[in-house]
Amino acid sequence: MEDSGARMIATFRQRIVESHVSASTRGKEPARQARRKQQRVPSAASLSRRLRNSERKRAVILEAALETFSKYGIHGASIEQIALQADVSKTNLFYYFTNKEELYVSVLRNLLDLWLKPLRAFTEDQDPIEAIRDYLRVKLEFSRDHPAESRLFCMEVMQGAPLMLTELQQPLHDLVENKIAVIQTWIDQGKLSAVEPYHLIFSLWATTQHYADFRVQIEAVAGKTLDDPAFFTETLKSLETIILNGVSPR
Amino acid sequence: MEDSGARMIATFRQRIVESHVSASTRGKEPARQARRKQQRVPSAASLSRRLRNSERKRAVILEAALETFSKYGIHGASIEQIALQADVSKTNLFYYFTNKEELYVSVLRNLLDLWLKPLRAFTEDQDPIEAIRDYLRVKLEFSRDHPAESRLFCMEVMQGAPLMLTELQQPLHDLVENKIAVIQTWIDQGKLSAVEPYHLIFSLWATTQHYADFRVQIEAVAGKTLDDPAFFTETLKSLETIILNGVSPR
DNA sequence: ACGCTTTCAGACCAAACGGTCTGCTTTAGA
DNA sequence: TCTAAAGCAGACCGTTTGGTCTGAAAGCGT
């Protein structure tokens, strides 16, 4: 009981590895064994149709899981709730995902790719002001269009990212390290005021994600959300004013 | 099942009201009834001693609850885990708090006061740049010294603040409205560049809290946390550069 | 049409967990 | 010292929930 947290993390790690393999080969796996008696090779057409169906259903479940996990947290969301939302039976859900953790991790994995993508666009040959402006816009659009993803990511990181830590540490660290260098170059060239690159990136993340993660607070205070187009542009403009002014060389 | 979320919220609301009364009168309540037979009026000294003990124990439990809730979320944290951490029995915990929700709400209530306090300091007669600089520092100190509070607050808001919403909406809205006016005055006086006050406040919140809420991410990327004094001052300086420059009139 | 595989549902199970009940111990007024 | 109330613990209970078992339909190659 006392180390249930640590034990759970260990379990999760293990499951991540397993799911890496099993997820991609699911449905074909039993075929490898128990050949011998009969060479039943399905036609390419039917196979791909089946796979498409299977993948579609997986996607539906993942979507429902994302929605539900992001609302109630991993422990607050029950499998039955997710199954209901995805309009499948609980048993059926367990047919596609071996357990809750694998489902959760699958959701997270999709997330991380999506979350990291915008930062990759940062390249040295861009004008820094434009690059940052673009980044703000893309990230704010992400907050508007994928609030569930944003919240779930936030939740996971906040709880110590027990599942993503390994996946987060290396790739994220490398990517950021890379972008830090880009920003530093800009600074050295006098295109950006002297600000610690780390914190610039953190500020960009923080300010844009805030509008998704603290949505209800923002709604309580301002009475609007990013779904309101006017509020969206107003927000973007304000962030540009604050941050771009802040980092423009004087 | 399908509306368990809504039902829970309703339950919570109700409990909030109850706990408002019962919490303050706890321990004295049975005395009101069943008088009549004997007037057993405890001395002021012993009463206060008892109360002190009682309050201390409550505080210990609240502290443990905060720590545990902020780590695992309300559903991920079990009462037994909290009791263990507070070094009391589960039964004993239920002696002080009628149920999990009341415990959780009590933690949140303490939180909100703490969280709101810094903003109250904003007054019109200050120099805006100094006021914002102070605010950044205080909020960053909060992130450093009360990371659990910060995270739990974030979690609660992210999940739609089912418990705090009523308490959040009115007071927060009023307070912010007030401070918006202060900032607008500064802008009108030309002491601050023309930026939508809402978003300035949001940016201040977002950037400072980020260091507590995304601590593990920051650690993964930068390898340091606010606990490192050098990193703390570096962070503060960077935020000042970015935001203060951004809002200073040119 | 036959037979194997995939897909899926209902009944079921064991563990976890929030919460209660009973009763013992301590405190403190009389 | 006696006694009522406060403080507290262990056993216990009902529900929820992640997950399994059994077996039946549907898909598909032959």
Which nt sits closest to A97, CA to C1'? Answer: D19
**3-class secondary structure per residue, B173-236:** HHHHHHHHHHHHHHHHCCCCCCCCHHHHHHHHHHHHHHHHHCHHHHHHHHCCCCCCHHHHHHHH
Distance in angstroms: CA B127, C1' D10:
62
At residue B248 the predicted structure's pLDDT band, cuts being 50, 70 and 90, is confident
The kind and range of the H/E element at B61 are: helix B44-76
Q: Residue B71 corresponds to which tokens in the numbers above? A: 């780590």
Nearest to A158 among B151, B222, B250 (CB): B151
Identify the pLDDT of residue A44: 57
Residues by CB within 7 A of strand C: list them: A 1, 4, 27-28, 30-31, 34, 37-38, 40, 50, 53-54, 57, 88-92, 95; B 38-43, 45-47, 49-50, 77-80, 90-91, 94, 98-101
Cβ pair A154:B157 closer than 8 A: no
Among the residue ranges A114-118, B202-206, B207-211, the one predicted with the least confidence is A114-118
Rounded CA gap, A217 and B59, in Å? 28
At residue B12 the predicted structure's pLDDT band, cuts being 50, 70 and 90, is very low
* Stronger pLDDT, B208 or A13, i.e. the higher one: B208
Q: Residue A113 corresponds to which tokens in the numbers above? A: 């790719």
| Chain center to CA of B113 | 6
Per-residue burial over A42-75, b if 16 or more Cβ lie within 10 Å, else e, is eeeeeeeeeeeeeeebbeebbbbbbbbbbbbbbb
Distance in angstroms: CA B40, C1' D2:
14
- Mean pLDDT over B224-250 rounds to 92
Rounded CA gap, B91 and A48, in Å? 58
* Stronger pLDDT, B35 or A144, i.e. the higher one: A144
- B80 Rama class: left (phi>0) / alpha (psi -120 to 50) / beta: alpha
Nearest to A245 among B196, B218, B245 (CB): B245
Task: Let me know if B35 is exposed, middle or buried by CB neighbors in 10 A (0-12, 13-18, 19+).
Answer: exposed
* Stronger pLDDT, B237 or B26, i.e. the higher one: B237
Identify the pLDDT of residue B36: 33
Does B156 contact chain A (CB < 8 Å)?
Answer: no
Query: What pTM did the predictor assign?
Result: 0.84
Residues by CB within 7 A of strand D: list them: A 39-43, 45-47, 49-50, 77-80, 90-91, 94, 98-101; B 1, 4, 27-28, 30-31, 34, 37-38, 40, 50, 53-54, 57, 88-92, 95
pLDDT reading at B31 higher than 80 = no
Does A238 contact chain B (CB < 8 Å)?
Answer: yes
- Average pLDDT score, chain B: 83
Predicted confidence pLDDT, tens digits, chain A (250 residues): 333 333 333 333 333 333 333 333 333 333 323 333 334 455 555 556 666 778 899 999 999 999 999 999 999 999 999 999 999 999 999 999 999 999 999 999 999 989 999 999 989 999 999 999 999 999 999 999 999 999 999 999 999 988 788 877 888 999 999 999 999 999 999 999 999 999 999 999 999 999 999 999 999 999 999 999 999 999 999 999 999 987 877 6
Task: Let me know if B148 is exposed, middle or buried by CB neighbors in 10 A (0-12, 13-18, 19+).
Answer: middle
- Mean pLDDT over B228-238 rounds to 98
Q: Which residues of B touch A151 (CB under 8 A)?
A: 158
Does B176 contact chain A (CB < 8 Å)?
Answer: yes
How much of chain A is helix, strand and coil, in % rounded to 5?
A: 75, 0, 25
Nearest to B202 among A73, A218, A220 (CB): A218
Rounded CA gap, B200 and B206, in Å? 10
DSSP code of A39?
Answer: -
Query: What tens digit of pLDDT does each residue of B81-134 get?
Result: 999 999 999 999 999 999 999 999 999 999 998 999 999 998 999 999 999 999
Rounded CA gap, B144 and B110, in Å? 18
Identify the pLDDT of residue A23: 35
